[in-house]
Amino acid sequence: MNLSLGIKVLLVIICALLSALIGVGAGWLSHEPGARKRDAILFGGGTFGGSLTLAVLVLSAIGVL
């Protein structure tokens, strides 16, 4: 696909926002009462990084980026 730079940046920003929502949800679901909050934050951060990497790799593989 021959997309302009602005559209590609917009797609990456959308992927980052979606990955942030996924990371927040994963951190929230992994938190247990009485446990340390930093463990849930680390889990959410790892999920954010993994989902952002996966989204960008998929967009690159199909030729969008």
Angle between helices 5-30 and 37-61 (to 10 degrees): 150
| pLDDT reported for residue 45 | 97
What pTM was estimated for this model as a whole?
0.88
Q: Please give the mean pLDDT across all residues of the chain.
A: 95
CA atoms within 13 A on the CB side of 33: 0
**Cα distance between residue 40 and residue 5, in whole Å:** 36
pLDDT digits (tens, 9 = 90+) for 36-45: 999 999 999 9
